[in-house]
Amino acid sequence: MATAEPWQRAEIAGPTKAFVIPKPDVLVAMIKRAKRPMLVAGHYIVEVREGEPYIDTIIRIAKAANIPVVATSHIVGEFVKRGFQPAAWMPAVDITSRLQDPSWMGLDGKGQYDLAIFTGIPYYMEWLLLSGLKHFATHLKTVSLDRFYHPQASWSFSNASLKDWKAHLETIASLLEVK
Amino acid sequence: MGPTPFPDVLALRDWDHKLLQRYKPFYMPHSDVCDLCTMGKCDLTAGKKGACGIDITTQQSRLALLSAVIGAGCHIAHSRHLLEHVIEKYGPRFPLDIGGLNIEVEAPITRLVCGVRPKTLSDFEEVLEYLETQLTHLVAALHTGQEASNIDFESKVLHAGMLDHVGLEVGDIAQIATFGFPKADPEAPLVEIGGGVVEPTKPLVLCIGHNVATAVEIVDYLKENNLFGQVEVAGLCCTAHDVTRYNPNAKIIGPISWQLRFIRSGAPDVIVIDEQCVRVDSFEEAQKINTPVIVTLDKISLNLPNRTKDVPDQIVSDLVDKKIPGALILEPSKAGEVAVKTALQMAPLRKKFKNIPDLTEVVERSKKCTLCLECRRACPQDLVIPEAIRKAAEGNVTPLADLYDGCIGCGRCEHVCPVGILPHTFIVKASESQVKEEKYKIQCGRGAIQDTEIRNVGSPIVLGEIPGVVAFVGCSNYPRGRIDVAEMVTEFASRRYIVVTSGCAAMSSAMYKNEEGQTVYEAFSKNFEAGGVVNVGSCVANSHIAGAAIKIASIFAKRNIRANYEEIADYILNRVGAVGVAWGAYAQKAFSIGAGCWRLGVPVIVGPHGAKYHRMLLGRKEQEEDWYAYDARTGDRVFVGPAPEHLFFTAETKEEATVMIAKLCMRPNDTTKGRAIKLTNYIDLHKRLYGVPPDDIHLFVRTLADVPITMKDEVIRVLDQKKWVEGRIPDPTLLQRMIRKRKEEA
């Protein structure tokens, strides 16, 4: 099943498609290399669609790598309940439009970001948000942490089974936690 | 008469640019290439230009215009057909009475845009000619080597939207006046809606589409021949709305997403197709249930023989004897007669032959599933179909039934299955008992809002004391099923907003009952007032929603509306807390209706699938310089806050949309009392649905008197943290010419 094809069959990108993250270590290295990373988390991280919500793993990743989290949709309260304060909460289109803007000074006033990690937004919507960044945010690399291949990101996992994907996330969190 | 009668493409460009400066286009390309000419395909990724010189930004705005002109073209052509039909039937001098003494401002959009006051059917001729001419200019701008500025493309999008609204109004006024639909009637009757409302033993004529001309003739033929009650007439999509406006004994099955499942149920004995949002495979599906199809307009001809000039009985005979599978009949009265006679003769032959397998077959065929996941990958909702099929193979179809509410009925899952499993059909079969129980009540479309209703609510709306007017409109491409819409309607009506519905959203709102067994149309007032839920009707009836906003400016504020678009749009943007919500928007028509709202200063929220319009109009609340307006009393530029923050916004979840609706209802003109009420709703919803208070309250508090008394301590704390500085409440306008001080000085 590990192929670099869009999960929703018709969501075909153009000539430039995401590189496949071959193994979690590569993403960990990317995160460690980034000077200004951001993690954008959508509402699927708190849903029981298949398996369990994965907000706890996202919090582990964010804490371990010291990445500011932007909670999209209505899920900020779920972070707060777990004792984690996101850097901001705002709609997915709002954070993406800011990431598009090279002159945006970021959530902390220290400048634009160089790596945006997306996860947990409905596939078709995240696909479009990543497309908006691919075209209009050339200052930015994007990564999808989702289970399914996102061709409009700079980097994405290939389509994975639930079990493999969970293992990927666990490995990423664990590797980042090793200082 | 105002300054812009029959405005051309550039006449309102300055206004558009003002809007687009504040609400900047945000593009999310759905395609990286342009393939519209033979020099392409051209890769436009990340700054590359095409062979004609176009870049991705301009291409995105060009595609937005393409959507808008398709949508506007649909409505304008619809109105053209209806107008010609009713002029032929009722004569050109037929008066345009759409509400008697209750409606003096009877065509507010037409007055606003064109500057004319139509009194008879023929008065709409010059209006339609204007729309058609303008639309042609806009289509021309789409050609390769034309417009090169995305902002001017976007201005043309707004122009298309404005034309669309006029087209809607022409169509609905023409049909209300001539067909005797409810005329701005809050007491418009409740009618039946749902998959289970049709009497299964009776012959059924099913009408699909948006143009009611033939459905009206069907009802007339039944009445003239004392057949009403013996034959069921039901509809899908907006023709259903409109046929119930003509006769409340007709029935509504549901929105577009019910088409496939209802045809396959075998219920219809003849299917009459008019135009717009008709599944392209309806004819193919009809053949599978042995049901003839009658097409009635040039838009959809289906390669069927044109039998318009033939004798009705001969056409019926050919349909019943299967000499032809369907017929094109362009004369509505003849199509009506043929439809009824065909249904009567087909019913005993067909015996409701359906194209849905029995449960044994569902289980047996499910055993072939290889779990290849292609059905799920084809599903727009990413429904976990394979797991449900696996359970079905074990004899448990409950997981299939659980998918029913989230399924939009597109059928894509069935085209990809390599072993011939039909997931959509299986879902429908597993939910059969649920479908039969789908029996609800909806208020039939009441048409316009009365002038007296506007008089009663104009002041509290403009001052903010009624926290907003929320219109749930558009299609049924919902991310999680229809219940979201019904819940949002309930939420805002309970909070004393004025809620208006139309189209598929009006239907979906009805397809849910509260604990007392009532739909929203039974549970809430039917008046256009705080806490009311008002169904205006079909897609073309959306004109009455925009019209109500315009009428507030006319009736309450005494502004001249004739040919005075810019001033009235400025008024609405700054004073009328109205928001459109197209939670399941899928169509180009929904986009053009939205575009008409944007130009008029009314923000629109779409659901997550609406992201596929690939262009939003977003404000940036932290950019203070974007949120200044003139104080018309003094000419000062005053910070008014991000109110409304966005013009076109896609929400990820219902919860996000709900909070955003409350937020987008705020307007610079709100009184302190009104703003306090709006803030109370915004903060309360945010806390309940997000689990935390909002972090931008300080942007919406202008003076301490805006702070809700019950939330004073927590809001003041936030204001202190944000180093909030007290501002003032201006008489807001974006138009320099509206500054009164200059006149006084002169």
Task: Check if A72 contacts B (Cβ < 8 Å).
Answer: yes
| Interchain contact, A74 vs B651, CB within 8 Å | no
Tell me what pLDDT residue A2 has.
Answer: 45
Q: Give the bridge partners for B525, in sequence order.
A: B532
Task: Check if B605 contacts A (Cβ < 8 Å).
Answer: no
Tell me the shortest Cα–Cα distance from B466 to chain A, in angstroms.
26
Q: Whose CA is closest to B579, among B487, B481, B474, B652?
A: B474
| Interchain contact, A73 vs B659, CB within 8 Å | no
Task: Check if A16 contacts B (Cβ < 8 Å).
Answer: yes
Mutate to test the interface with B, among A17, A107, A128 (most CBs of B within 10 A): A128
Tell me the shortest Cα–Cα distance from A136 to chain B, in angstroms.
6
Mutate to test the interface with A, among B33, B34, B410, B653 (most CBs of A within 10 A): B653
**Tokens standing for residue B83:** 């107008």
CATH code for the domain of A52: 3.40.50.1220
Q: What percent of chain B has pLDDT above 90?
A: 96
| Interchain contact, B382 vs A94, CB within 8 Å | no
| Interchain contact, B45 vs A134, CB within 8 Å | yes
Domain B190-350 and domain B440-737, same fold? Reply is: yes
* Residue A80: domain span: 20-177
Q: Give B522's pLDDT tier (boundaries 50, 70, 90).
A: very high
pLDDT in tens, B90-132: 999 999 999 988 888 889 999 999 999 999 999 999 999 999 9
Q: Which of B28, B378, B692 sits opposite A77 (nearest CB)?
A: B692
pLDDT in tens, B254-289: 998 899 999 999 999 999 999 999 999 999 999 999
Mutate to test the interface with A, among B645, B660, B692 (most CBs of A within 10 A): B692
Q: How far is Cα A112 from Cα A153, in angstroms, rounded to an integer?
A: 18
- Identify the DSSP state of B542: G
Q: Which of B28, B377, B416 sits opposite A7 (nearest CB)?
A: B377
Task: Check if B322 contacts A (Cβ < 8 Å).
Answer: no
Q: Is the pLDDT of residue B379 over 90?
A: yes
Q: Is the pLDDT of residue B746 over 50?
A: no
The CATH-assigned architecture of domain B440-737 is: 3-Layer(aba) Sandwich (3.40)
Q: Is the pLDDT of residue B605 over 70?
A: yes
Q: Give the bridge partners for B537, in sequence order.
A: B502
| Interchain contact, B46 vs A131, CB within 8 Å | no
- CATH code for the structural domain at B13-179: 1.20.1270
Tell me what pLDDT residue B577 has.
Answer: 97
CB atoms near residue A87 (< 10 Å): 15
- Identify the DSSP state of A148: S
Q: Which of B45, B608, B650 sits opposite A16 (nearest CB)?
A: B45
Q: What is the complex's ipTM, to 2 decimals?
A: 0.97
Please report the sign of the dihedral spanned by the C-alpha atoms of residue B259, residue B260, residue B266, residue B272.
positive
- Alpha-carbon dihedral angle through residues B669, B675, B678, B682, given to the nearest 10 degrees: 110
Q: A3 in a domain, yes or no?
A: no
Task: Check if A50 contacts B (Cβ < 8 Å).
Answer: yes
- Identify the DSSP state of B370: -
Tell me the shortest Cα–Cα distance from B652 to chain A, in angstroms.
6
Q: What percent of chain B has pLDDT above 70?
A: 99
Tell me what pLDDT residue B744 has.
Answer: 54
Helix (H), strand (E), coil (C) string for A30-95: HHHHCCCEEEEECHHHHCCCCCCCCHHHHHHHHHHHCCCEEECCCCHHHHHHCCCCCCEECCHHHH
Plot region of B600 (φ>0 → left; ψ -120 to 50 → alpha; else → beta): alpha
CB atoms near residue B218 (< 10 Å): 31
Q: At the topology level of CATH, where does B190-350 sit?
A: Rossmann fold (3.40.50)
Plot region of B400 (φ>0 → left; ψ -120 to 50 → alpha; else → beta): alpha
Residue A164, helix vs strand vs coil: helix
**Tokens standing for residue B556:** 């309450």
Q: Are B378 and B415 in contact (CB under 8 A)?
A: yes
pLDDT in tens, A102-161: 999 999 999 999 999 999 999 999 999 999 999 999 999 999 999 999 999 999 999 999
For chain A, the domain total comes to 1
Q: Compare all CA atoms of chain A with the CA of B27 and give the residue at the minimum distance.
A: A132
pLDDT in tens, B209-235: 999 999 999 999 999 999 999 999 999
Q: How far is Cα B446 from Cα B455, in angstroms, rounded to an integer?
A: 18
Tell me the shortest Cα–Cα distance from B369 to chain A, in angstroms.
17
Q: A128 in a domain, yes or no?
A: yes
Chain pair A-B, CB pairs under 8 angstroms: 129
Which chain B positions have a beta carbon within 8 Å of A7's beta carbon? 377, 382
pLDDT in tens, B20-50: 999 999 999 999 999 999 999 999 998 999 9
Tell me what pLDDT residue B743 has.
Answer: 54
User: Residue ranges per domain, chain B?
Assistant: 13-179, 190-350, 359-436, 440-737
pLDDT in tens, B261-270: 999 999 999 9
Where do runs of H (alpha helix) occur along B43-145? 56-90, 108-114, 123-141
Q: A12 in a domain, yes or no?
A: no
**Per-residue CA distances from B69 to B28, B153, B599, B683 (Å):** 20, 12, 15, 39
**Tokens standing for residue B631:** 């104080």
Q: A47 in a domain, yes or no?
A: yes
Q: Which of B29, B384, B652 sits opposite A91 (nearest CB)?
A: B652
| Interchain contact, B652 vs A73, CB within 8 Å | yes
pLDDT in tens, B560-590: 999 999 999 999 999 999 999 999 999 999 9
Q: Are B468 and B575 in contact (CB under 8 A)?
A: no
Q: Which of B31, B33, B656 sits opposite A74 (nearest CB)?
A: B656
Q: A85 in a domain, yes or no?
A: yes
Residues sharing a CB contact under 8 Å with residue B731, sequence separation 6 or more, in sequence order: B631, B632, B633, B669
| Interchain contact, B382 vs A81, CB within 8 Å | no
Q: Whose CA is closest to B260, among B70, B433, B71, B476?
A: B476
Tell me the shortest Cα–Cα distance from B31 to chain A, in angstroms.
6
Q: Give the bridge partners for A117, in sequence order.
A: A39, A143
Please report the sign of the dihedral spanned by the C-alpha atoms of residue A116, residue A119, residue A121, residue A126.
positive
Q: What is the mean pLDDT of chain B?
A: 96
Which chain A positions have a beta carbon within 8 Å of B43's beta carbon? 14-15
Q: Is the pLDDT of residue A1 over 60?
A: no
Task: Check if B84 contacts A (Cβ < 8 Å).
Answer: no
Task: Check if B30 contacts A (Cβ < 8 Å).
Answer: yes
Q: What is the mean pLDDT of chain A?
A: 95
Which chain A positions have a beta carbon within 8 Å of B650's beta carbon? 93, 125
Average pLDDT over residues B400-409: 95
The B residues from 257 to 316 touching A (CB cutoff 8 Å) are none
Task: Check if B63 contacts A (Cβ < 8 Å).
Answer: no
Mutate to test the interface with A, among B26, B27, B28 (most CBs of A within 10 A): B28
Q: Is the pLDDT of residue A5 over 70?
A: yes
Tell me what pLDDT residue B742 has.
Answer: 56
* pTM assigned to the model: 0.98
pLDDT in tens, B123-182: 999 999 999 999 999 999 999 999 999 999 999 999 999 999 999 999 999 999 999 999
**Tokens standing for residue B230:** 């013996």
Buried b / exposed e over A44-69, threshold 16 CB at 10 Å, is bbbeeeeeebbbebbbbbbebbebbb
Q: Are A114 and A36 in contact (CB under 8 A)?
A: yes
